[in-house]
Structure 1
Amino acid sequence: MKLAYKTSVLAVATALALAACSFGPSGEPPAMPSPEHYGAQAQPSKTVAAGGIAQQFDLGATSVPQWWRLYRSDALDALVDEGLRNSPTLAGAQRTLAAAQEELRAQVGSSTLPSVDGVAQVERARSPVVPGLGPQEVQYNFFAGQIQAHYTFDFFGQTRYANSASAARVNVQAYELEAARRALAANIVGTAISVAALDRQIALTERLVAVASETANEDQQRYALGSISHVQALNSTQDADSIAASLPAMRQQRALAVHALAVLMGRTPDNAPTVPDLDSLVLPEHVPVVVPSDLLRSRPDIQAADAAVKAAAADVGAATAQLFPSLSLTGSMGRGGFSWPAVLSGAGGLWAIGASLSQPLFHGGALFAQRRASIDTYDAAVLHYKSAVLSAFQDVANSLAALDNDAQTLASTERATQAARTAFDETASRARLGSLPSTAQHASEERFLNAQLGAVRAGSQRMSDTAALFQSMGELPPGQPQATLRE
C-alpha cells in the first residue's frame, strides 16, 4: 500500500514537472467589467447651480493627489499637512512597512545566496580507557578553525515563489499604508467641515433661542393682560425650551468632533486646533470622474487586493515546487589538531565537501493538502479582489449621486432661505411702523433662522460629499500622468 502511494506521488510529481503551467496561477487579477457609467443612471455633466456653483463632472479626468487644496483654505491645508506629518497611527504603519521591507531583504538574501560562516573551536576533553590496557584516562586538547559554506539549488522555484509571495505581501502593506494616508486626509477634511458647520449652526440656534425666549416673555405679558390664552403662553414657553434643549447636544457633538480632529492630527484633545470658518472654504467647481479601468489602478484598496492575488498565486507555486527534489551543497575548509604546532603544520589541514538530494516520498498527504489549501486561498483572494472592485464602483456611484442630490437640496434650501429673508425684512419693516405686533416679527425671524440652518446643513453636506468623491477616486501611482483640475 505504501509502495502504491509512493508511486502515485512520483507520478503526480512527474506530471507536474512536465507541465510548468501547473506550478501556479499567473497572479494576474481577473478581468472585471468596465461599465459606461457608475450609477444606475448616466451621470450628468454637471449639477444644478447652488451656492453660486454648478459642479462640473470631468469625465475621464485623473484623480487629484492633494485634492484638499482645491478648497482654497490655507488653514485647512495646514490641518491636513500636520495630520499627515504627526499622526502616530500613520507613523506606526510606516514603521511596520519598513520592518516588513527589511525582513523581505533578509529573506531574499538568505535564500538566494550561499551562506558562509566562520567557525572556531577550542575543546579540552577526557576519554576513559579500558582498565588494565593503559592509563585510567586520556585528556587532550583540540583546536580547529573552519570556513563553512552551504547552498541549496532552487531548481523548481520553491524559493523564488516564496520570495515572490513575501514581496507581494509587502506590497499589500504598502498599498494599505497609502489607503490609510488618504483616509486620514479625508477624515481631517470631513471633521473640519463638520466642526465649521456646527459652529454656524450653534450660532444660529443661539439666536433662535433668544428670539423664541423674547416671544415667550411677550406672550407671558400678553397673558397677564388677558389678551391671549394661558395655553398659547405655555406653548411659546415650550417652544423656547425645546429649541434651547437642542443646544447642549450640538455643543457635545462639536466637542466630540474637535477632540477627534486633535487626535487625528497627533495632538491631545486639550490642544485642539483652530478650525477654519465655513465661509473660508470654497467648494471645488471641477471634480474628476475617473474611468473604471483607471480606477482599478488608482484605488489603493484595489491595488492591495491585486497584490494579495499575486501573493496567493506565488504560494500555489511554492506549494507545488516542494513536491520536487531538492539539492544542497555543503563545504568546509580550515585547520585543526590536538596542539597548536599540529594545527599550524602541514598535517593540520581540514576540508570537506558534500551534496544531498532529497525527494519527498511520503508525508501523510500533507504536501498535497498544503497545495490544495494554497489553491483555495488563491481562489478566495480572487473573489476578494472582485468584491473590492465592485465596492469601489459602488462607492463612486454613491458619491456621484450624493453630489447631484446635494446640489438640488441646497438649491431648494437657498430659495426657501431667500423667501424667508424677504418675508422677515418686510415683516420687520411693518413691525417698526407699528402695523404688526413684535411677535409677528419674531415668528418671521424664527422661520428665517430655521431656513438658514437648513442651508448650512445642505451646504456642509455638499462639501463633505465632495471630499468623499475625491477620496473614492484614489490616486494614480507614481509615473502616471496626473490631470490638473481647474479651480
Structure 2
Amino acid sequence: MINVKRPILQLRLYVAFCGCAALAGCMVGPDYRTPPAPPADTTYTAAPLPEQTASAPGAAGLPQRFAPGQDIPGEWWALFHCEPLDGLIRQALTNSPNIVAAQAALRQARENFSAQAGGTLLPSVDAQLGATREKLNGIAFGQPGVSEEFNLYNASVNVSYKLDIFGGARRELEALHAQIDYQNYQLQAAYLALTANIVTAAVKEASLRAQIEATERIASDEADQLGVLGQQFDLGGVSRTAVLAQQTLLAQTRATLPPLRQSLDQVRHQLAVLAGMLPSDPALPEFRLDMFSLPETLPVSLPSTLVRQRPDILAADAVLHQASAQIGVATAALYPQITLSASYGAEALAPSQVFKPGSTIWSLGAGLLQPVFHGGQLSAQKRAAEAAYEQAGAQYRETVLLAFQNVADSLRALDHDAIGLRAQTDAWRAASDSLDLTRGQYRVGGVSYLSLLDAQRQYQQTVTSLAQAQASRYADTAALFQALGGGWWNAPPSAPPPH
C-alpha cells in the first residue's frame, strides 16, 4: 500500500518554508539612496579665479597656481617641506587622545553591529541545567491531606528564533552599519582637523616669533635713538619734549612685547596638547617662517567630487542613511511578529536518571504577536522617524553648502593674500626707505623730530603687518587643503590607514 500522506506532508512543509522565506525577504520602509551629487560645475566662486596668484619678493611671496581636478596627496602637509612639522604631525597622529577616542568609537560601533547581527539573524541556543526541591499538595489533584516532597533534576537545550518577516531586524542592522560608517568618517575628520590645526598653529607660532623679533629690533633702534637724543639734550641741541616723546615711543613699543609673548606661549601649549604632549615637554620643536616652503601648485578638487571626499559630508550622509533605516524599524513594529521555539532535554527525580531512556522531554512552539492597540504609540514612532529623516536630510544639505563655502572662502583668501602681501611688502619697503631718509635728514637738521617719530611709527606698523601677511599665505593654504578633504583617501601605508 502506497503512503500518500507522507509526500503531501512534505509538500506542505516545503510550501510553508518557501512562504516564510519569501516573507523574510520583504523589508518595509524606504530603501536608502545616496543624495545626488551637486551639479558638475568647475568653479566654486561666481567670479573666475586667476590661473595663478600675484607674486611678491621673498619665499612667502611665490605665485601659486590653481590646478582644478588634480588630486590631493594624503600627507598634504609635506608640501610645506618642513621636517619638524612632519615629525610633529606623525607623533600627534599616534599620541593624540582625540584620535584614540575616535578609533575606540569606531570599534564600539563595529562590535555593536556584530552583537546585534549575531542575536538577530541567527537562532539563539541555550543549554540549561537545573535542580529544584518541590512539594505538591494533593488538593490540586482532588486528594486532600496528601502531600509529597521530592527533588527534580533537568537538563535541556532551548532554541528560539524570531522570524524577520517584515525586515525590522535587518533595518536595525542597516542603521547600525550606517553608524559604523559615521564613526569611520568621524575618525577621518579627526585626522584632518588634527593635522590642519597643527599646521595652522605652527604657522601662527612662526608669525609671532617674526613679530617679536621685529619688535625687539625696533625697540633696540628706538633705545639707541633715545640715547642720541639724551646726549643732544645735555648739549642743548633738542628740547625736553623730544626726549619725552622718544621715551614714550620706546615704552609703547616694549609694551607690545608681553601680549605677543603670551600669544606665543599659548600657541606652544596648544601645539604640545595637539601632539599628545605636556606643555612642559622640551622636545616640542620651534617654528619660524623661513622653515616653510609655500606650495606652488594647489590641487583643487572638482565640485562634483567634493561631496565624496569631505569627511563631514560623508558623515552627514551616514546619519541620513541611519535615519532612513529607522523608518523601516518603526514601520515593521506595526506588523505581526512570529517567534519559533523548541526545547529538548531530560527530567528525572535523581541526577543519575537524567540521561537514561524514558526521561526525555521536548517541546515545539510558535507565537504570533500582532499589535492591536498601543494608544497611538507605534504610529507616532513612525512619524517621528520620518521627521528625523527629514531633519537629517536638511542637515546634510546644510553641510554640503558650508563645505562649498569653506572652499570658496579659502580660494578667495589665497588670491587676496597674495595681493595683500605684495602691497604690504611695498609698504614695508617704502616705510623702511622713508625712515632711513628721515633719520639722515634729521641728523643734519632737515626735518623736525615729529617727522622722525611719524616715520618710526609707520615702519613699526609695516614690519608687524608684513609678518602677519606672510603667515596668512601659509595658513590659508592649509585651510584650502582642509576644506577640500585633506586627501585621506590617498593616505600612504606609513600614515594611519582609513578604515
TM range (shorter): 0.7 to 0.9
Rate the CA distance shift 1:311–1:266 in 2: closer, same or farther, 3 A. Answer: same
Work out the CA distance in 2 between the residues paired with 1:133 and 1:356: 36
2:208 maps to which residue?
198
Letter paired with 2:237: S
Work out the CA distance in 2 between the residues paired with 1:76 and 1:216: 41
Letter paired with 1:271: D
Q: Is the 8 A contact 2:133 2:149 kept in 1?
A: yes
Aligned counterpart for 1:141 among listed residues 145, 151, 172: 151
2:30 maps to which residue?
24
1:466 maps to which residue?
477
Give per-residue Cα distances to partners, 1:385-425, cap 9 Å, x unaligned. Answer: 00000000000010011100110111112223334445566
2:394 maps to which residue?
383
Alignment of structure 1 residues 296-335 onto 2, 5 Å: 296-335=307-346
2:64 maps to which residue?
55
1:412 maps to which residue?
423
1:214 matched to 2:224? The reply is yes
Letter paired with 2:182: V
Rate the CA distance shift 1:290–1:457 in 2: closer, same or farther, 3 A. Answer: same
1:264 matched to 2:264? The reply is no
2:291 maps to which residue?
280
Q: Displacement, 1:36?
A: 4.1
1:82 maps to which residue?
91
Aligned counterpart for 1:373 among listed residues 356, 360, 384: 384
Work out the CA distance in 1 between the residues paired with 2:471 and 2:446: 36
Give per-residue Cα distances to partners, 1:187-234, cap 9 Å, x unaligned. Answer: 111111111111111111111111122223333443344333333322
Q: Provide TM-score, normalisation by structure 1.
A: 0.87
Q: Is the 8 A contact 1:162 1:315 kept in 2?
A: yes
Q: Secondary structure at the match of 1:297?
A: coil
Q: Is the 8 A contact 1:63 1:298 kept in 2?
A: no
Aligned counterpart for 1:402 among listed residues 394, 398, 413: 413
Q: Displacement, 1:446?
A: 6.7
Rate the CA distance shift 1:261–1:476 in 2: closer, same or farther, 3 A. Answer: closer
**Which blocks of at least 5 consecutive residues in structure 1 are unaligned?**
1-16, 482-487
Work out the CA distance in 2 between the residues paired with 1:318 and 1:22: 8
Give per-residue Cα distances to partners, 1:423-472, cap 9 Å, x unaligned. Answer: 5666788899x798998999867755543332211011110010000111
Number of equivalences: 462
1:9 maps to which residue?
none
Q: Is the 8 A contact 1:120 1:145 kept in 2?
A: yes
Q: Secondary structure at the match of 2:358?
A: helix
Work out the CA distance in 1 between the residues paired with 2:37 and 2:332: 27
Alignment RMSD, CA only? 2.9
Q: Is the 8 A contact 1:302 1:388 kept in 2?
A: yes
Q: Is the 8 A contact 1:53 1:285 kept in 2?
A: yes
Work out the CA distance in 1 between the residues paired with 2:234 and 2:439: 25
Q: Secondary structure at the match of 1:357?
A: strand
Q: Displacement, 1:352?
A: 0.7
Letter paired with 1:311: Q
2:179 maps to which residue?
169
Q: Displacement, 1:378?
A: 0.3
Work out the CA distance in 1 between the residues paired with 2:355 and 2:263: 83
1:44 matched to 2:50? The reply is yes
Work out the CA distance in 1 between the residues paired with 2:419 and 2:111: 52
Percentage identity across paired residues of the two chains: 36
Letter paired with 1:218: V
Work out the CA distance in 1 between the residues paired with 2:86 and 2:116: 41
**Which blocks of at least 5 consecutive residues in structure 2 are unaligned?**
1-22, 493-499
Q: Is the 8 A contact 2:347 2:359 kept in 1?
A: yes
Alignment of structure 1 residues 57-76 onto 2, 5 Å: 57-76=66-85
Q: Secondary structure at the match of 1:347?
A: coil
